[in-house]
């Protein structure tokens, strides 16, 4: 299994790192991928029965982590992602780091996705931070860790 990505310097719980194992008490929320209004449309009917399983975790000041798994009406895996967001530093000049990996799983078992590393320095005023984002191809280790995470989310579904 992949080691947690600690390139952010985060000091939160170990499960808060990208692709890290989930805490024992994390239970996914299960809901349709679209609202009833969308699912009632002709285009929406094609995704009727699809579900998303989400786990949103807070590490307090260390930030947030969100795991998302999408299954088709037959329960087959369509896509998945893991994302962590950190904020560190002084209140008036904090560094914000967003790490994520996600994409779609094909019926043949292959994965097509992207890993993102985004960073911003909060300006000292009311201005929005300027983000610098770098995409890269997920490594084989990333994909294997994502598959492990997906299996755990599916196992825990209500």
Per-position pLDDT tens, the chain of length 158:
334 443 444 455 788 889 999 999 999 999 999 999 999 999 999 999 999 999 999 987 778 999 999 999 999 999 999 999 988 776 666 788 999 999 999 999 899 999 999 998 877 666 777 889 999 999 999 999 999 999 999 999 98
Give the E-state strand segments of 10-125 in sequence order. Answer: 29-32, 51-58, 64-71, 77-88, 95-105, 111-121
The answer for residues whose C-beta is within 8 angstroms of residue 79's C-beta and 6 or more apart is 68, 69, 70, 102, 103, 104, 105
Domain parsing of the chain, residue ranges: 14-156
Alpha helices (H) in 1-94, listed in sequence order: 36-39, 42-45
The answer for residues whose C-beta is within 8 angstroms of residue 155's C-beta and 6 or more apart is none
Question: Rounded to two decimals, what is the model's pTM?
Answer: 0.84
């Amino acid at each position: 299994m992949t080691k947690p990505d600690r390139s952010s310097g985060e000091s939160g719980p170990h499960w808060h790192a990208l692709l890290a194992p989930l805490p024992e008490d994390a239970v996914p929320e299960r809901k349709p991928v679209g609202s009833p209004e969308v699912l009632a449309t002709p285009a929406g009917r094609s995704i009727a029965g699809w579900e998303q399983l989400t786990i949103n975790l807070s590490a307090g000041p260390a930030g947030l982590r969100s795991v998302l798994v999408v299954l088709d009406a037959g329960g087959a895996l369509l896509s998945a992602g893991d994302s962590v967001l950190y904020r560190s530093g002084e209140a008036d000049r904090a560094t914000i780091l967003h790490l994520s990996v996600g994409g779609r799983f094909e019926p043949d078992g292959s994965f097509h996705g992207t890993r993102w590393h985004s960073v911003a320095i909060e300006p000292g005023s009311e201005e929005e931070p300027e983000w610098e984002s770098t995409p890269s191809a997920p490594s084989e280790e990333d994909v294997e860790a994502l598959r492990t995470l997906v299996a755990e989310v599916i196992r825990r579904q209500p």
